[in-house]
Amino acid sequence: MTGLERGTVELVAHRPEWKRQYEAEVARLASAVGDRLQSDDFEHVGSTAVEGLPAKPVVDLLAVVDDADEARALVPVLDDLGYEYRPNDGVADRLFLARGPRTNRTHYLSLCERDSDCYREQVAFRDYLRANPEVAAEYEALKRELADAYPDDRPSYTEAKGEFVEAVLADAMDGE
């Protein structure tokens, strides 16, 4: 199962099909946008990219663009592919899009430059959780607690994870 209503929080056990869904979406996007995004310009990020970690059933993709103008030029093409551009999402150096109707979001797509904080932080966080199962287990426990507390309040869920995420990022970025 992939998909979640916008604004809600539901965690499900990790599913191997998330990797296949990521790969299929990369192929679909790379085919549709031609040489503006190649398959090696994508990263599978977020909890669906960490084996064994429960996650909201929405596949997160990170796509690298040369600059912000290129990202903005891709928005109409991505709209034709079922992605809704979500301006003002609070991350300064990315464009954020969501695929699927608001009642069943299936994919999140971030467009950013490779040297951006967004790219470095998302990849570092994912890689750190993959390399440190004890930290991933702590993150899982926190996510479960917060999902129970905020099932219909995604902003509060996300905000409440912030301190933990920042601490992990500090450790992950020290290792770069």
* Distance of alpha carbon 46 from alpha carbon 129, whole angstroms: 10
- Answer whether residue 32 is part of any domain: yes
Checking if the pLDDT of 21 tops 90, the result is yes
**Counted domains in the chain:** 1
- Answer whether residue 10 is part of any domain: no
Checking if the pLDDT of 36 tops 90, the result is no
Please report which confidence band the pLDDT of residue 175 belongs to, taking 50, 70 and 90 as the band edges: low
* 86-106: average pLDDT: 89
Q: What percent of the chain has pLDDT over 90?
A: 78
* Distance of alpha carbon 146 from alpha carbon 33, whole angstroms: 37
Measured in degrees and rounded to the nearest 5, phi and psi for residue 54 equal: -60, 150
Helices and strands, number each (H, E), in the chain: 5, 5
H or E, element range at 124: helix 117-131
| Structural domain for 34, as ranges | 17-174
- Answer whether residue 102 is part of any domain: yes
- Answer whether residue 98 is part of any domain: yes
Lowest mean pLDDT among 81-95, 120-134, 141-155: 81-95
- Answer whether residue 149 is part of any domain: yes
Report the DSSP pairing between strands 107-112 and 59-64: parallel
- Answer whether residue 11 is part of any domain: no
Q: 44-83, pLDDT tens digit by residue? A: 999 999 999 999 999 999 999 988 888 899 999 999 999 9
DSSP 20-45: HHHHHHHHHHHHHHGGGS-GGGEEEE
The answer for residues whose C-beta is within 8 angstroms of residue 133's C-beta and 6 or more apart is 52
Q: What percent of the chain has pLDDT over 70?
A: 97
Q: How far is CA 20 from CA 2, 16, 43, 153, 160, in A?
A: 12, 7, 13, 29, 30
- Answer whether residue 2 is part of any domain: no
Query: Which CATH number covers residue 25?
Result: 3.30.460.10
Q: What is the pLDDT of residue 1?
A: 59
Checking if the pLDDT of 132 tops 80, the result is yes
pTM, to two decimals: 0.92
- Answer whether residue 100 is part of any domain: yes
